[in-house]
């Protein structure tokens, strides 16, 4: 029995967790360094100021250290303990100020007083610290030394791609975001699932070419779209992976089209698998599916998560740590992707070359070929269904939904009938 990939994915999450990522900077590059130990990557460095659709690539942000200390030098908030303690993209600061003034730059979660929130200030110059409400409540009035050793300067936005070549150049796009700091479910689990999915696909030659995109959220996918507009028609299907490792049931968010092939395939796989799951409609809020599904592109790209964004109390807090992510949950997310892409890769539309009456299968040896199968009667029925509905209008997925037969059995039937000359694509 093949061992579950869950523990290996969980180990990757633990390795990535301490790195301070943002939409730009060395944290993203260091993350890709680790991913590149698993997969070869093509990296792209896009300079600050580059126009990308309606956006502009921002300055690059890097941080070395940050703290809030009392006048005795005791650090009450320390970036070295958790990179969530600093508002992402904080400008540098070094000052002494009273607590009353410092409070304007402090972020807490009063309803979750022991947790540190995750906050950003990407596109407006600002600075701030995030801390537990319990920590703030314990801070006496008085002066505090505030220090953020960061740089915000012209540099680059970094993203990377990994391509698994297929038998055709039509592509399936798999995207995950690389901009979140120490947040394990959102989105390190998504990165881990993408990495192991790419490795599995590379062990065979899939029908489609699979392009894996590791990019910062929003600005990363917008940059990729801007740089690939002339070739965007090669993307026939896509999936955004996020929140891939919590204990919740799988949730699939349909593409803007609502009936794209990926929408139907994922729904079929989840329905037929017996997994608890939820299917939700598209909305222009969430992860990068909203960029791929913007009206000018309108790609067939859905989103697969477990509990959706903002749907669990640990979301965007220090509680979203490696202990919150379950190896078995990531393994299940990976399996759902594997099953969906197996259907997507084999889904075909055929035309019956002998449509007048039922062709004689016995004289072509098709019945004899089923002799060793435990599901011989089901396989025989599958051949009849495929022959009957192969009129150029019905795909194998259509036939599976109508007949109630397993997709794999129907796909095998299609392959056999094609080889016998009774079908053509």
What CATH number did the domain enclosing 113 receive?
3.50.30.90
What is the CATH classification number for the domain harbouring 200?
Answer: 3.40.630.10
Residue 4 has pLDDT above 80, yes or no: yes
Average pLDDT over residues 245-265: 98
Helix spans in 105-188 (H): 133-137
d(CA 96, CA 91): 16
State the Cα angle at 308 between 210 and 234, rounded to 5°: 20
d(CA 348, CA 55): 39
Neighbouring CB atoms inside 10 A of 304's CB total 26
* DSSP count for the chain of H helices, then E strands: 12, 19
Same domain, 193 and 125: no
Q: Measuring CA to CA, how many Å separate 210 from each of 39, 198, 346, 349?
A: 13, 8, 14, 21
Same domain, 372 and 392: yes
Question: Which of 153, 176, 194 is the last residue before a domain boundary?
Answer: 153
pLDDT at 377: 85
* First vs last C-alpha separation in the chain: 36
pLDDT at 81: 98
Query: 2 falls in which pLDDT band (50, 70, 90)?
Result: confident
Q: Is residue 217 part of a domain?
A: yes
Q: Is residue 101 part of a domain?
A: yes
Please count the structural domains in the chain. Answer: 3
Same domain, 191 and 326: yes
Residues 6+ apart with CB under 8 A from 417: 350, 366, 383, 386, 387, 390, 423
Same domain, 307 and 169: yes
Burial group, residue 181, by CB count within 10 angstroms (0-12, 13-18, 19+)? buried
What percentage of the chain reaches a pLDDT higher than 70?
Answer: 98
pLDDT at 95: 98
pLDDT at 369: 63
pLDDT at 375: 73
Same domain, 144 and 185: no
114's torsion region: left (phi>0), alpha (psi -120 to 50) or beta?
Answer: alpha
pLDDT at 22: 98
Same domain, 295 and 342: yes
Q: Is residue 367 part of a domain?
A: yes
Neighbouring CB atoms inside 10 A of 116's CB total 24
| Residue written as token pair 């900077």 | 25
Question: Which of 106, 121, 153 is the last residue before a domain boundary?
Answer: 153
DSSP code of 188?
I
**333-376 pLDDT per residue, tens:** 999 999 999 999 999 999 999 999 999 888 888 876 655 566 77
DSSP code of 271?
H
pLDDT at 302: 98
Dig out the tokens for 318 from the structure: 């220090």
330 φ, ψ (degrees, to nearest 5)? -65, -40
Residue 41 has pLDDT above 90, yes or no: yes
Q: Is residue 1 part of a domain?
A: no
pLDDT at 372: 58
| Residue written as token pair 């002339």 | 230
Mean pLDDT of the residues in the chain = 96
Q: Is residue 280 part of a domain?
A: yes
Residue 300 has pLDDT above 80, yes or no: yes
Which residues are 145's β-sheet partners?
Answer: 69, 96
What is the CATH classification number for the domain harbouring 388?
Answer: 1.10.10.10
Q: Measuring CA to CA, how many Å separate 224 from each of 36, 45, 130, 160, 228?
A: 19, 11, 31, 10, 6
pLDDT at 18: 98
Q: What is the pTM of this model?
A: 0.96
Cα maximum dimension of the chain:
94
Neighbouring CB atoms inside 10 A of 289's CB total 27
Same domain, 94 and 110: yes
Reading across the β-sheet that carries 171-177, which strands appear in turn?
Answer: 42-47, 156-164, 209-215, 171-177, 235-241, 301-305, 250-253, 277-280
Average pLDDT over residues 274-278: 96
d(CA 239, CA 236): 11
Same domain, 331 and 279: yes
| Residue written as token pair 């299940």 | 332
Average pLDDT over residues 220-246: 97
Dig out the tokens for 347 from the structure: 């889904």
Q: Is residue 122 part of a domain?
A: yes
**176-210 pLDDT per residue, tens:** 999 999 999 999 999 999 999 999 999 999 999 99
d(CA 88, CA 83): 9
Asked if residue 86 lies in contact with residue 126, where contact means CB atoms within 8 angstroms, the answer is: no
**45-62 pLDDT per residue, tens:** 999 999 999 999 999 999
The parent domain of residue 138 ranges over 60-153
DSSP code of 71?
T
Burial group, residue 326, by CB count within 10 angstroms (0-12, 13-18, 19+)? middle
Asked if residue 16 lies in contact with residue 128, where contact means CB atoms within 8 angstroms, the answer is: no
Question: Which of 346, 364, 394 is the last residue before a domain boundary?
Answer: 346
Q: Name the residue among 367, 402, 424, 344 with its Cα closest to residue 171.
A: 344
Residues 6+ apart with CB under 8 A from 364: 420, 422
Same domain, 278 and 404: no
Asked if residue 210 lies in contact with residue 338, where contact means CB atoms within 8 angstroms, the answer is: no
d(CA 387, CA 384): 5
Same domain, 204 and 274: yes
Asked if residue 121 lies in contact with residue 91, where contact means CB atoms within 8 angstroms, the answer is: no
Establish whether the linkage from the previous residue to 157 is cis, with ω within 30° of 0: no
Same domain, 207 and 315: yes
Asked if residue 124 lies in contact with residue 91, where contact means CB atoms within 8 angstroms, the answer is: no
Q: Is residue 49 part of a domain?
A: yes
Collapsing DSSP to helix, strand or coil, 205 comes out as coil
Q: Is residue 375 part of a domain?
A: yes
Same domain, 198 and 243: yes
DSSP code of 187?
I
Average pLDDT over residues 306-331: 97
């Amino acid at each position: 029995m093949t061992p579950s990939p869950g523990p290996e994915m969980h180990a990757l999450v633990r390795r990535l967790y301490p790195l301070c990522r943002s939409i730009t900077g060395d944290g993203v590059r260091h993350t890709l360094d680790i991913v590149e130990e698993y997969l070869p990557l093509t990296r792209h460095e896009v300079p600050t100021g580059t126009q990308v659709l309606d956006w502009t690539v921002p300055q690059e942000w890097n941080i070395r250290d940050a703290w809030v200390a009392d006048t005795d030098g005791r650090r009450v908030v320390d970036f070295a303990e958790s990179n969530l303690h600093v508002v992402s993209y904080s400008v540098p600061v070094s000052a002494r100020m009273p607590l009353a003034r410092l409070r304007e730059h402090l972020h807490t979660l009063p309803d979750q007083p022991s947790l540190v929130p995750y906050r950003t200030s990407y596109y407006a110059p600002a600075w701030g610290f995030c801390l537990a409400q319990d920590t703030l409540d314990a801070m006496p009035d008085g002066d505090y030394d505030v220090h953020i050793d960061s740089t915000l300067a012209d540099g680059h936005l970094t993203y990377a791609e990994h391509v698994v070549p297929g038998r055709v150049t039509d592509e399936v796009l798999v995207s995950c975001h690389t901009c979140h700091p120490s947040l394990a479910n959102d989105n390190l689990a998504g990165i881990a699932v993408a990495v192991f999915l790419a490795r599995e696909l590379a062990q065979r030659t899939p029908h489609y070419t699979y392009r894996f995109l590791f990019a910062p959220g929003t600005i990363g996918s917008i940059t990729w779209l801007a740089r690939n507009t002339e070739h965007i028609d090669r993307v026939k299907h896509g999936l955004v992976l996020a929140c891939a490792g919590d204990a919740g049931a799988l949730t699939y968010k349909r593409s803007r089209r609502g009936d794209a092939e990926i929408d139907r395939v994922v729904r079929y796989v989840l329905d037929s698998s017996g997994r608890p799951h939820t299917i939700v409609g598209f909305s222009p809020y969430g992860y990068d599916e909203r960029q791929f599904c913007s009206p000018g592109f309108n790609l067939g790209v859905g989103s697969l998560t477990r509990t959706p964004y903002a749907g669990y109390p640990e979301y965007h807090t220090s509680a979203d740590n490696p202990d919150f992510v379950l190896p078995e949950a990531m393994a299940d997310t990976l399996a759902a992707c594997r099953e969906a892409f197996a259907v997507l890769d084999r889904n075909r539309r055929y035309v019956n070359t002998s449509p007048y009456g039922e062709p004689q299968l016995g004289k072509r040896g098709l019945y004899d070929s089923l002799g060793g199968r435990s599901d011989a009667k089901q396989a025989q029925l599958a051949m009849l269904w495929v022959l009957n509905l192969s009129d150029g209008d019905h795909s194998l997925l259509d036939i599976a939904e109508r007949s109630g037969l397993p997709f794999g059995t129907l796909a095998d039937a299609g392959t056999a009938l094609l080889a016998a000359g009774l079908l053509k694509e």
